[in-house]
Structure 1
Amino acid sequence: MNTPIVQFGTSRFLQAHADLFISEALERGEAAGKITIVQTTGSSERAGRLSALAAPGGFPVIVRGLENGIAINRTQQVTSVARALSTGEDWTEVIRIVTEEAEILISNTGDTGYRIDADKPDQPVPASFPGKLLLLLHARFMANARPLTMLPCELVSRNGSVLKALILDLARQRLADDAFSAWLDTQVIWANTLVDRIVSEPIEPAGAVAEPYALWAIEAQPGLCLPCTHASLLVVADLTPYEKLKLHILNLGHTVLADIWLKEKRPEAETVREILTVAQIRSTLLDLYETEVIPAFAAKGLGEQAMAYVAATLERFDNPFLDHRMRDIANHHAEKRVRRIVDFSAWSPTVPMPKLTAIANPA
């Protein structure tokens, strides 16, 4: 079977996000086609996923949480994956598929996915994802030089632009082929994307448990090729509002709750859902959203979007099926205060934020 979509990464996030979206779209005849999944690391615990991911009957994704105030608990079979390969075992076949079949590449390679320090000279298959991607794109260029869309889903701001700059730099260093570099620059569409969905648990050997809320925002540009149409996939002129909403409402809310949890030395195993059952704490968070956060977005012309996102965020926090531990959210609290609160104040400097400032700058 021809697979116009090639996905790098076997994460539970991708299973419950891109793979599920494309599976649902295929049922409506609104997807580019099926997926070849490529495992990019030699991780032994992930090797067993490959056959399960491509099983004829698909793999399960359980969607649990609140949606418009209604508790959702449903299981869906994801049947969008035609093949699952490994760069360690199937490199020649991966090259063929990227060269001959692919129209869209998707990646989600983790927090360190763009690091290249593990690569060594003259490796037949580089250790890093960027190193592998460079050789795959060069093989395509040498074979047919057809255009291609790259949809990185790593949690990196302006991820498409960052990955493009990295690959162009690697091309200059390792291949020194001006024509190839020009093709990378003009014929590969490096899309900036933002993904948002809490995928809380894996299902073994393949599958995942996820919340109902999902977003895949892709910044528009000429030549962009989409993997599917879907209610949760938005093509937008500018990703900035979506990045700000996520960072300064969802993530900021987590940091406010973590600050309370740390200062009050609350129970070690407490979850987001549980801490918000305390009326005073819930009232504190709602007051911050209403008096400082939403007004700051309104000053940028995003007041209605912020109110809607706050409502969705509170449903996500109240998810009766999700045990999101406060101790995990409180990790790296000082750094998070800067990015989520201090940077927010700098982004919207005309709106007073006394309560958030007090959290960001404790006495």
Structure 2
Amino acid sequence: MTNRLSRTTQPGLPVYPERMIQFGEGNFMRAFVDWQLQQMNNQGLFNGSAVLVQPIGQGLGGLMAEQDNLYTVLLNGIMQEQTVNSREIITSVSRVINLYDDYAAYLALAEDDGLEFITSNTTEAGIAYSAGDSLGDTPPKSFPAKLTALLHKRFELGKKGFIIIPCELIDRNGEKLLQIVQQYAAEWQLGEDFNKWLVDENTFCCSLVDRIVPGYPRDKAAQLEEELGYKDNLIVTAEPFLFWVIEGPAWLSEKLPLAQAGLNVVVTDDMTPYRERKVHLLNGPHTAMVPLAMMAGLETVEDVMNDETFFRFVQELMNDELSPMLDLPAEELSSYSAAVLERFRNPFVRHELASISLNSISKFKSRLLPVLLRYRQERGQLPELMTLAFAALLLSYRGDRVARQDGAEVLEAFDKAWSNPDSFVKTILADESLWGQDLTLVPGLVDGVAAKLQELDRTDSRAVLQQAVHQ
């Protein structure tokens, strides 16, 4: 019987002092933030560990404790045309606190002068206000309320504040977190001195994270146990690519020397261009490819990349229509685009198109529509491939060729518009609840989309693409 991973079965592993509080013990944070702490520690640049706070009652704290808070990260994929297949035991987590079982231990973190950083990933819904939370709750319900309680304890002890870097996938996450903390501070009547300390002594940073983390390799667990020589119930698989943009003061690069450790991390005073780059050049092509590829019977992103016609569509969409509309140096955009294409080809990650198709209307609105409109304004014509992708998306929401996954209100709007096919395009583009504006006012868009939609409806998406891309 194989022994479980622990400090007993793996003697001599280093132990580091706690320097970071991390809300969230899930796969992503352990393969993203804690993995990066490990890389800094390996080079003697940080000498610190993270104490993880389990933000909900059910979590991985028990499993972590059974393994002395050790786990393995497997990096699988292609990076700069080289296959990466690495395994590393992570020693940068000290312990996990379940604040539902031991709230006193959580508040005691405020007493530790060695703790400087707070990171979090409590899902996109985590940075939200919850009515009824109070300072006396043990614990409060929402993540921002839990954080407010900890910060207030720190303030009462007369200690320095924290550098706070949320990783939740919402725009301006640091600013929104601060706003909600301030809302609780006002509601709980914590006083002007606390409000001043909150702003003056703490640094709330906005951040953008990027790494695909499939998680526990259930289908290969037995094989990996034999190869590794130990049983690890917390193995995390991730792609080699990593990118972290932190909007914060320049001195943060010295306090948290991630870039110095060779990691792909940028500290900047404006993360907007980087956010636009990711949203439009990584997420945008995902949204564009889905309806066209699913209509052609493809199932995964890898299928798309291995299909010559669809690969050319993605490549030309990125190079000819998306990149020219972004305000970043051409070399940087070209390098990022090449990295994205490489990531899309990763044979170790099965990224299903059906999962990407969830809520495609709101995704198109944020990922592709702004670029389409800018292209039309600057060049006086519609971008052909984006317009084709838009038409395919609208056709897919008829529901007879591709399964629709969206909110009831969105599907109702489409069903109503499709009840009169002759006026469908004009009706749906005029729906401001879907697009945030009346798209029939964009010159040529109604006719352009209608023509592409009719073409797709007459034949199949592959044939249409073959005419649209350069063969």
- TM-score w.r.t. the length of structure 1 is 0.91
Structure 1 equivalent of residue 91 of structure 2: 79
User: Which aligned pairs between 1:1-363 and structure 2 lie closer than 5 A?
Assistant: 2-31=17-46, 33-43=48-58, 45-52=59-66, 54-55=68-69, 58-100=70-112, 101-117=114-130, 119-121=132-134, 122-202=136-216, 205-221=233-249, 224=252, 226-229=255-258, 230=261, 231-264=263-296, 266-267=297-298, 270-297=299-326, 300-346=327-373, 349-351=377-379, 352=381, 353-360=383-390, 362=394, 363=450
Give 1 or 2 for the bigger CA radius of gyration: 2
Greater RCO, CA 8 A, separation 6+: 1
Question: Taking structure 1 as reference, are residues 32 and 147 closer, same or farther at Cα in structure 2, changes over 3 Å only?
Answer: farther
Q: CA deviation at 1:146?
A: 0.9
After superposition, the C-alpha distances for 1:250-300 in whole angstroms (9 at most, x for unaligned) are: 101101111213443x25xx2110122111111111121222112222xx3
Q: Greater strand percent: which structure?
A: 1
User: Tell me, which stretches of 5 or more residues in structure 1 are unaligned?
Assistant: none
Distance 1:284 1:340 in 2: 17
Are the equivalent residues in 2 in contact too, given 1:65–1:72 (CA < 8 A)? yes
Are the equivalent residues in 2 in contact too, given 1:273–1:317 (CA < 8 A)? yes
Distance 1:82 1:196 in 2: 24
Instruction: Give the match's secondary structure for 2:215.
Output: strand
Q: Greater helix percent: which structure?
A: 2
Instruction: Give the match's secondary structure for 1:4.
Output: strand
After superposition, the C-alpha distances for 1:159-196 in whole angstroms (9 at most, x for unaligned) are: 11111111111110123411101111221100111110
Larger mean CA deviation between 147-156 and 230-239 belongs to 230-239
Distance 1:105 1:285 in 2: 38
Q: CA deviation at 1:72?
A: 0.9
Measured on the aligned residues, the alpha-carbon RMSD in Å equals 2.0
Q: Percent identity?
A: 27
After superposition, the C-alpha distances for 1:289-334 in whole angstroms (9 at most, x for unaligned) are: 222112222xx34322211111000110000111011100111111
Q: CA deviation at 1:337?
A: 1.0
The residue identity in structure 2 corresponding to 1:112 is A
User: Tell me, which stretches of 5 or more residues in structure 2 are unaligned?
Assistant: 1-15, 218-231, 395-449, 451-471
Larger mean CA deviation between 196-205 and 6-15 belongs to 196-205
Distance 1:259 1:20 in 2: 35
